[in-house]
Copies of this chain bind each other. A is one copy, B any other.
Amino acid sequence: MAAAATNPPTSPKPAMRDSLIAAAFQLFLERGYEQTTVDDIVTLAGVGRRSFFRYFPSKEDVVFPDHDQCLDDMTRFLAASADSDDPMVRVCGAARLVMRMYAENPTFSVQRYRLTREVAGLRAYELSVVWRYEKTLGDYLRTRWADRRDGTLRANVAAAAVVAAHNHALRHWLRSGGEGEPFEEVDRALEFVRATWSPDAPGAAAGDTAAEEDGDVVVVITKRSTPMWRVVREVESSLGEG
Contact = CB atoms under 8 A, between A and B. Distances in A.
B165 A163 contact: no
Interface in A161-187: 161, 163-165, 167-168
A127 interface: yes
Interface of A: 123-125, 127-128, 131, 150, 152-154, 156-157, 159-161, 163-165, 167-168, 189, 192-193, 196-197
Q: This chain: how many copies in the complex?
A: 2
B161 A192 contact: no
Contacts of A125: 124
Contacts of A124: 124-125, 127-128
22 contacts: A123-B128, A124-B125, A124-B127, A124-B128, A127-B127, A152-B168, A153-B192, A154-B192, A156-B167, A156-B168, A157-B164, A157-B165, A157-B168, A157-B189, A157-B192, A159-B164, A160-B160, A160-B163, A160-B164, A161-B161, A161-B164, A196-B196
A197 B165 CA distance: 14
A164 B131 CA distance: 12
